[in-house]
Protein backbone atom coordinates (compact mmCIF):
# COMPACT_ATOMS: atom_id res chain seq x y z
CA UNK A 1 0.00 0.00 0.00
CA UNK A 2 2.81 2.38 0.93
CA UNK A 3 4.62 1.59 -2.30
CA UNK A 4 1.48 2.25 -4.36
CA UNK A 5 0.92 5.63 -2.67
CA UNK A 6 4.56 6.57 -3.24
CA UNK A 7 4.24 5.66 -6.92
CA UNK A 8 1.13 7.81 -7.29
CA UNK A 9 2.82 10.77 -5.56
CA UNK A 10 5.81 10.44 -7.89
CA UNK A 11 3.51 10.25 -10.91
CA UNK A 12 1.73 13.46 -9.80
CA UNK A 13 5.11 15.22 -9.48
CA UNK A 14 6.13 14.06 -12.95
CA UNK A 15 2.80 15.14 -14.36
CA UNK A 16 3.07 18.59 -12.77
CA UNK A 17 6.42 19.16 -14.51
CA UNK A 18 5.00 18.21 -17.93
CA UNK A 19 2.35 20.90 -18.59
CA UNK A 20 1.24 19.35 -21.89
CA UNK A 21 0.57 15.97 -20.26
CA UNK A 22 -1.22 17.70 -17.36
CA UNK A 23 -3.48 19.55 -19.82
CA UNK A 24 -4.16 16.32 -21.70
CA UNK A 25 -5.13 14.49 -18.48
CA UNK A 26 -7.30 17.41 -17.37
CA UNK A 27 -9.17 17.37 -20.70
CA UNK A 28 -9.61 13.58 -20.45
CA UNK A 29 -11.12 13.96 -16.98
CA UNK A 30 -13.46 16.64 -18.31
CA UNK A 31 -14.57 14.36 -21.14
CA UNK A 32 -15.32 11.54 -18.70
CA UNK A 33 -17.42 13.86 -16.53
CA UNK A 34 -19.29 15.30 -19.53
CA UNK A 35 -19.91 11.81 -20.93
CA UNK A 36 -21.34 10.64 -17.59
CA UNK A 37 -23.65 13.67 -17.47
CA UNK A 38 -24.81 13.00 -21.04
CA UNK A 39 -25.63 9.37 -20.20
CA UNK A 40 -27.53 10.52 -17.09
CA UNK A 41 -29.55 13.10 -19.04
CA UNK A 42 -30.25 10.50 -21.74
CA UNK A 43 -31.59 8.10 -19.12
CA UNK A 44 -33.79 10.85 -17.70
CA UNK A 45 -35.22 11.44 -21.18
CA UNK A 46 -35.82 7.73 -21.83
CA UNK A 47 -37.47 7.05 -18.49
CA UNK A 48 -39.51 10.27 -18.44
CA UNK A 49 -38.57 10.90 -14.82
CA UNK A 50 -36.42 13.19 -12.76
CA UNK A 51 -34.30 10.29 -11.52
CA UNK A 52 -33.89 7.01 -13.43
CA UNK A 53 -31.97 5.37 -10.57
CA UNK A 54 -32.56 5.45 -6.79
CA UNK A 55 -31.05 3.69 -3.79
CA UNK A 56 -33.27 1.93 -1.23
CA UNK A 57 -32.47 3.63 2.10
CA UNK A 58 -34.53 1.57 4.57
CA UNK A 59 -35.83 -1.92 5.19
CA UNK A 60 -39.49 -0.97 4.70
CA UNK A 61 -39.76 -2.94 1.43
CA UNK A 62 -38.16 -6.17 2.63
CA UNK A 63 -38.18 -8.89 1.40
CA UNK A 64 -38.75 -7.39 -2.10
CA UNK A 65 -35.86 -4.91 -1.73
CA UNK A 66 -33.14 -4.63 0.89
CA UNK A 67 -31.43 -1.50 2.17
CA UNK A 68 -28.69 -0.62 -0.31
CA UNK A 69 -30.38 -2.05 -3.41
CA UNK A 70 -30.34 0.12 -6.52
CA UNK A 71 -33.66 0.47 -8.36
CA UNK A 72 -34.04 1.35 -12.03
CA UNK A 73 -37.19 3.38 -12.66
CA UNK A 74 -39.35 4.50 -15.52
CA UNK A 75 -42.25 6.90 -15.49
CA UNK A 76 -43.82 6.12 -18.87
CA UNK A 77 -47.21 4.77 -17.73
CA UNK A 78 -49.89 7.40 -17.11
CA UNK A 79 -51.86 5.14 -14.71
CA UNK A 80 -50.60 3.03 -11.84
CA UNK A 81 -52.05 -0.27 -10.69
CA UNK A 82 -52.46 -1.84 -7.26
CA UNK A 83 -49.28 -3.76 -6.55
CA UNK A 84 -46.94 -1.47 -8.50
CA UNK A 85 -43.78 -0.56 -6.60
CA UNK A 86 -43.33 3.17 -6.96
CA UNK A 87 -40.92 5.84 -5.82
CA UNK A 88 -42.64 9.03 -4.68
CA UNK A 89 -41.79 12.34 -3.09
CA UNK A 90 -43.68 14.10 -0.35
CA UNK A 91 -44.01 17.88 -0.46
CA UNK A 92 -41.18 19.66 1.43
CA UNK A 93 -39.14 16.45 1.81
CA UNK A 94 -35.96 15.75 -0.11
CA UNK A 95 -35.70 11.97 0.13
CA UNK A 96 -37.95 9.86 -2.10
CA UNK A 97 -39.78 6.83 -0.66
CA UNK A 98 -40.04 3.37 -2.25
CA UNK A 99 -43.36 1.64 -1.44
CA UNK A 100 -46.09 -0.45 -3.07
CA UNK A 101 -49.46 0.89 -4.27
CA UNK A 102 -51.97 -0.54 -1.78
CA UNK A 103 -55.20 1.11 -2.88
CA UNK A 104 -56.50 3.10 -5.82
CA UNK A 105 -59.27 5.69 -5.64
CA UNK A 106 -60.76 7.74 -8.48
CA UNK A 107 -61.79 11.23 -7.39
CA UNK A 108 -65.41 11.85 -8.44
CA UNK A 109 -64.97 15.58 -9.05
CA UNK A 110 -62.34 15.33 -11.80
CA UNK A 111 -61.78 11.61 -12.46
CA UNK A 112 -58.16 11.69 -11.30
CA UNK A 113 -56.62 8.56 -9.86
CA UNK A 114 -55.36 8.78 -6.28
CA UNK A 115 -53.06 6.26 -4.63
CA UNK A 116 -52.45 4.93 -1.13
CA UNK A 117 -49.10 3.23 -0.52
CA UNK A 118 -47.52 0.96 2.07
CA UNK A 119 -44.10 -0.56 2.63
CA UNK A 120 -44.17 -4.38 2.42
CA UNK A 121 -42.42 -4.60 5.80
CA UNK A 122 -44.59 -1.95 7.50
CA UNK A 123 -47.72 -2.68 9.55
CA UNK A 124 -49.75 0.32 8.40
CA UNK A 125 -50.32 2.38 5.25
CA UNK A 126 -48.35 5.55 4.52
CA UNK A 127 -50.86 8.28 5.40
CA UNK A 128 -48.70 9.10 8.42
CA UNK A 129 -45.80 9.84 6.04
CA UNK A 130 -47.74 12.08 3.66
CA UNK A 131 -47.83 15.86 4.02
CA UNK A 132 -50.23 17.19 6.69
CA UNK A 133 -53.81 16.91 5.41
CA UNK A 134 -52.82 14.69 2.49
CA UNK A 135 -54.70 11.38 2.40
CA UNK A 136 -53.71 10.16 -1.08
CA UNK A 137 -50.84 10.49 -3.53
CA UNK A 138 -51.48 11.96 -6.94
CA UNK A 139 -49.69 10.92 -10.13
CA UNK A 140 -47.46 14.04 -10.04
CA UNK A 141 -46.05 12.86 -6.67
CA UNK A 142 -44.63 9.73 -8.33
CA UNK A 143 -40.97 9.85 -9.42
CA UNK A 144 -41.12 6.47 -11.15
CA UNK A 145 -42.10 2.82 -11.17
CA UNK A 146 -39.49 0.24 -10.14
CA UNK A 147 -38.57 -1.96 -13.12
CA UNK A 148 -35.33 -3.68 -12.07
CA UNK A 149 -32.90 -3.79 -9.16
CA UNK A 150 -29.28 -4.54 -8.36
CA UNK A 151 -28.78 -5.86 -4.81
CA UNK A 152 -26.54 -3.99 -2.36
CA UNK A 153 -24.71 -1.86 -4.97
CA UNK A 154 -26.17 1.29 -3.44
CA UNK A 155 -24.35 0.83 -0.14
CA UNK A 156 -21.52 2.97 -1.51
CA UNK A 157 -23.97 5.88 -1.78
CA UNK A 158 -25.36 5.24 1.70
CA UNK A 159 -21.87 5.16 3.23
CA UNK A 160 -20.84 8.36 1.47
CA UNK A 161 -23.97 10.15 2.71
CA UNK A 162 -23.48 8.86 6.27
CA UNK A 163 -19.75 9.69 6.30
CA UNK A 164 -19.04 12.83 4.21
CA UNK A 165 -15.27 12.45 4.74
CA UNK A 166 -15.49 9.16 2.84
CA UNK A 167 -17.04 11.03 -0.10
CA UNK A 168 -14.15 13.52 -0.15
CA UNK A 169 -11.60 10.70 0.11
CA UNK A 170 -13.21 8.71 -2.73
CA UNK A 171 -13.40 11.79 -4.94
CA UNK A 172 -9.76 12.64 -4.22
CA UNK A 173 -8.60 9.11 -5.04
CA UNK A 174 -10.59 9.11 -8.30
CA UNK A 175 -9.14 12.48 -9.38
CA UNK A 176 -5.59 11.38 -8.59
CA UNK A 177 -6.07 8.10 -10.45
CA UNK A 178 -7.65 9.92 -13.40
CA UNK A 179 -4.68 12.27 -13.66
CA UNK A 180 -2.00 9.65 -13.20
CA UNK A 181 -3.29 6.91 -15.51
CA UNK A 182 -1.87 7.11 -19.03
CA UNK A 183 -4.18 5.60 -21.62
Q: Which residues are catalytic?
A: 60, 99, 126
Classify 67 as helix, strand or coil.
coil
- DSSP secondary-structure letter at 122? -
| 24 contacts: CB under 8 Å, gap ≥ 6 | none
Q: How far is CA 182 from the centre of its chain?
A: 31
Structural contact between residues 96 and 120, judged by C-beta atoms closer than 8 angstroms? no
For CA atoms 40, 46, 51, 54, give the dihedral sign. negative
Q: Please choose, from the candidates 111, 128, 110, the residue with its C-alpha nearest in 3D space to the C-alpha of residue 119.
A: 128
What are the DSSP E strand ranges found in 26-122?
Answer: 53-55, 70-74, 85-88, 97-106, 113-118
**Is it true that the peptide bond before 63 is cis, omega within 30 degrees of 0?**
yes
Amino acid sequence: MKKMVAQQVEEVRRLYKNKRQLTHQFLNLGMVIISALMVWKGLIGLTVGESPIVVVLSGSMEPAFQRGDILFLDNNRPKLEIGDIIVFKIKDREIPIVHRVLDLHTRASDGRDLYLTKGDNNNVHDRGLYAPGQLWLERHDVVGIARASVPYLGYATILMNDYPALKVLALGVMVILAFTQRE
